[in-house]
Structure 1
Amino acid sequence: NVFGAATQGKNVEKKTVAETFLAGHGSPFVAQVSIANAPKLYRSILDGIEYRGTAFLQCFTSCQPEHGVADDMSLTQAQRVRDSRGAPEFVFNPRLGETYHEALDLKGNPSIDMDWYETKFKPSNEPYRYTVAHWCASEARFRNHLKKIKAEDAAKLIPLENMLVRITQQDVVYRRCLQRDHRSYVPDFGVFIKVQGGNGALEYRALSRQLVLFCVERRKAWRLLQSKAGIENREYKAQRSVLADVDAGKITKDELFARAEELLKERLKGSAPAPHKPVEPKPRPATIPPTVSAVPPPASQADHEQAAVTN
């Protein structure tokens, strides 16, 4: 949340200690948990104490005055940062096996196989995807990164969901997101989200470029966790497919800008696994009646005697 005249913040990926310890640090017990899931929090503490080796627990909690949230909002904010992928919940327990698939547990995060958690606005029942930008909108410390705008002004900006289809973390690393002629260009305060205001009404917020890039970075971090846990994210594959066609000239930038979300959904439908069809048992062969022999049965002794008398 560093914001000033010279810069809006760092352009490097977030260095989360718990996520870092998952790679190349021997076999520590690692948990990133919070009061958002109290049973898992206490279970992780006990498992860490019992673990024969190094144990590291990273627990999120809000600092009410510094974060700009009410005194009774610790639980709510912990749930929001978890659900937004800002600080996803996970436990890495090497006692469960020697592969990431066995040792890494992501249970507790909503929509575990998707990029973002889909929920609904209460007053209108309108669905939306809860990103890290939505969590930031709930804490005053990020106020410089969000500007309240009117609906008519939002109509001139880019929806965040549309922008997130256009851009990857590599576009950020190579600063393509700053090139006006590139598909991933992020205009400063040119992207918007909807949020639910204090009175329940829907409001609009324009996002700083830095906040959009934060969404991209947290999405990549979440995708890495998914892959380590053996979870296939079809949204990632669909996005790669769409952008490959854009970069190859098969899809124009104008079409991407106008239909990014639709293009992604179309690819998702195309990549959906075929529904499982149970194998129908083969019909049992019909019982074949015994073949009637064309050769008459041998005549009995009485038949021979009767034939002799007749002759």
Structure 2
Amino acid sequence: MYKLLDYDITEYKQLENTLNELSKQGYNPTSLGKISRFEKNEKHYYFHVGLLIKKPATPKRKALHDFINEYEKQMFDYYGKIGKFIIFTTDNKRALPKERQKEIDEYLSTRKISVTTYFVLWIFFSFFVAQLVLQKNQIQEFLTNGSILIHYLPLLLFATILIRCLYKIVLACQKSFGKIIKHIFYAMTIVTCVVAILGCILDITDRKDIPLNQNILTLQTFDKETNLKKYPNYKYTKSFIVESTSYFEENNQGNLMYSKDYCFKSTDKTNTFFKRYLKTYDDVPVIKIDKNTYLFKLDTSYDTLLYKKENHFYFVSANFSLKNDYQNIIEFYK
């Protein structure tokens, strides 16, 4: 069987009791880790859990080697390790040497400061991530319900991490409600994993290839040779915020164009994202045709048109000049 052995270093005695209780039932670990494997056999061990506390200047491998040797001199047999937990067994129950217990107590007494500092740092970092996530929203991140979940997943992830840090503080302060926070952390972890998986699934299922129809802008609108056999489909996405279609086409003469149609649930959302889209072109030469129509020169090769109408806004980019063709685009979308 497999068992989760997720213990803080302040809970080394709880880990020890768990291993001893399982050994009494005939289950002993064959693989140690956060998720450990246990097999049923006839052996009964007395498990002892020690904490590896090394000096900063001592290499980790040497500290571990010296630590194990010290215990083996006291007739403890090395069994394995889980992080800082070093697992030993004995034939009969044996108390920890007094000097070793004193060293552990002194180490754990400094735990409050370190975990509190860690918690405060994560708070500042989570606020920084929240600012990035909430203020830099682009329409491309809301095309599917899955992309929306994935976009906001970092906030859920950092909330889960903060709960974990808070749990460490509670344990360091030896408060009795640590188990409640631990259960909340497990619940948040499960929710985060579900949201991540669901987001990926929805993002894939909400993107569809659909055969072209007369509502899709093609090179033919610009009186150029069209290549519908090579590009017979357009992309369609849908979320509770916006429906979107996009289409790319290139002909044998090297003319290419890329178009998008964003249809929002309200004109307010259309105006919000239209303004955000315009901001991405702040450093690009622009021709303002009217308040709803802007023509950009991205570089020497490409022109881009942004056009807003009611709860739609349209994006058209091409490697030929749109200065004389933007009226055709507006007429097409009327």
> Above 0.5 in TM-score?
no
Which range, TM-score by smaller chain?
Answer: under 0.3
Higher relative contact order (CA 8 A, sep 6+): 1
- Calculate the TM-score normalised by the size of structure 1: 0.22
